[in-house]
Amino acid sequence: MNRPWLTFYEREVPIHIDYPVIPLTRFYQDAVCDYPNNTSMIFYGRKITYREGWDYIRALATALHKLGVSKGDRVSIYLPNSPQFVISFYAVLKLGGIVVQTNPMYVPRELEHILNDSGAETIITLDLLYDRVMAVKDKTKIKRIIVTSIRDFLPPHLKLLYPLKFIGKKKPQIKYGNGVYRFTDLLQTKPEKIYVDIDPKEDVALFQYTGGTTGISKAAMLTHYNLVANTMQAVHWLTDRQEGGEVLLAVLPFFHVYGMTVGMNFAIYLASTLVLVPRFDVKEIVKLIQKYKVTLFPGAPTIYIAVINFKDVKKYDLSSIKACISGSAPLPVKVKEDFEKLTGAKLVEGYGLSEASPVTHCNPIYGLNKPGSIGIPFPDTDAKIVDIETGEKELAVGEAGELIVKGPQVMKGYWNMPEETARVLRNGWLYTGDIARMDKDGYFYIVDRKKEMIIASGYNIYPREIEEVLYRHPKIKEAAVVGIPSGYRGETVKAYVVLKEGETATEEEIKEYCRENMARYKVPEFIEFRKELPKSAVGKVLKRVLLEEELKKKPKRGES
């Protein structure tokens, strides 16, 4: 097939990579061999070397093996970014187990679904989340609950202060025994050599749940080979990488596939340092960047927006950052421009989805960067635009249709969902569900989610186009656009707007700005000002929540 994008690869980026057929755990093992004394993780000032981290991983793997965890078993990791997450993740994989990514923000109802769907019998969690686990334990197959605390890996002075956190609050009451174990006790286990025969191309390493914002949550099955390949693709994309020398700010949650690949696995492959951030706080972020001279800062648009708008940001030295890849949501051009001006770093938009481990496209870090584009396909990744109706006809340059991709990072399928798997995996191609177009140079542009396109009075309206205009308004900090029911137009456009601190605006003022910058049929009929927008753990605006709120209102817009 024609691949015009190859012309725009940076000189150091290979067209093809020889991916080793190895378990994902080899990344950490190799880092230990080559850089045993390098700092692997920093957590609230506590530093852990690669050798120490590997000792913990081997000890926990041995303990889990003695508790009965074996190849193919699913283990839920219900933790925020922390040393315990990294240790648990690699320990489970070392046994040939399957990590079940579990968002620590999940309430019992959501947790119950994940545990039952995956069939997990073991869960590793925080003491602060213990009550949620116990609330669903008897409704699931869970036999083993392993409990840790943020305190377990704090430096000595913070360990002493940690109990103060619970003054006036209910302190977690854990009943150990009967299948409930202390994480720190398991780390005391003497490591043993455990041989597990892992087939990297066939054996699943990860259940990454997806679709929760658009439908029934389902587990994308990602193999060791998928994850090895995507990590190496991302690493080779950064042409000035320094093995053993990068410092990566891990603010994106590891339970999200983007944070896991472009954060955790990326840094470990390079034997570099992960500065672990369990909870986003913009002041803490800028302090950490300055203190540890962070060089890589993968994130989501809302994270960069928060940094740009932080009132004291210019008091901090952010000049150590050299590159940031933005994912999980469209990156407004204005945000890219403002962040690069503020830091001197390169901020480029990439694209991916859970089913592809997740990255498939990215703008070159130092090469031709096209603002508003998701860039070009990664090495060994093919992409094309096909018609929405049949998904079989390849469309011409500039035409909008469904984006489909093919590459070594594409999942094996959905867990226990053969029909869904057959729907999205066809003849080796992954159907993304996103509407996109490709220009003559092979750069791709997401027009919108297939499910988010608004059809008003017969016009196809793409929310992202309107959002790009709104982000350029000098008073607007954040914006989201959805289609809401209309008795007259079928659907009509509504914009939810968050103003910058100290700013005021009227609905008519925003509409007038839109009328000056877009066709009349695209101008939002309704503007709602909000203090904040509902977001996922990685900062993606949850338009589903906005729409659900709207649908609860009666009568429908445009109806009497």
Per the omega criterion (within 30 degrees of 0), is the bond before 474 cis? no
CATH number of 454-551: 3.30.300.30
Q: Which of 391, 502, 516, 506 is nearest to 450 (CA)?
A: 391
Q: What is the pLDDT of residue 1?
A: 83
Name residue, tokens 């709104």: 470
CB 101 within 8 A of CB 124: no
Residue 212 predicted with pLDDT over 70: no
Q: What is the pLDDT of residue 213?
A: 34
Please state the pTM of the whole predicted model: 0.85
Least confident of 9-18, 92-101, 356-365, 532-541: 532-541
Task: Please give the Cα distance from 481 to 496 (Å, whole number).
Answer: 6
Name residue, tokens 């890219």: 336
CB 238 within 8 A of CB 364: no
Average pLDDT over residues 123-132: 96
Count the alpha carbons within 13 Å of 477 in the hemisphere toward its beta carbon. Answer: 21
Distance between alpha carbon 310 and the CA centroid of its chain, in Å?
A: 23
Q: What is the pLDDT of residues 63-78, one digit of tens each?
A: 999 999 999 999 999 9
- Domains of the chain by residue range: 25-38+47-199, 454-551
Residue 90 predicted with pLDDT over 70: yes
Q: What is the pLDDT of residue 210?
A: 85
Q: What is the pLDDT of residue 137?
A: 97
Residue 463 predicted with pLDDT over 90: no
Average pLDDT over residues 29-53: 98
- The structure tokens listed for 38 are 């390098």
Average pLDDT over residues 356-380: 96
Q: What is the pLDDT of residue 217?
A: 78
Task: Please give the Cα distance from 43 to 356 (Å, whole number).
Answer: 29
More confident position, 542 or 85: 85
CATH 3.40.50.300 applies to domain 25-38+47-199:
no
Q: What is the pLDDT of residue 161?
A: 81
Query: pLDDT-derived band of residue 558, with 50, 70 and 90 as boundaries?
Result: very low
Q: What is the pLDDT of residue 394?
A: 97
Q: What is the pLDDT of residues 151-197, one digit of tens each?
A: 999 999 888 887 777 777 778 889 999 999 999 999 999 999 999 99
Q: What percent of the chain has pLDDT over 90?
A: 79
Q: What is the pLDDT of residues 417-457, one digit of tens each?
A: 999 999 999 999 999 989 999 999 999 998 866 667 787 76
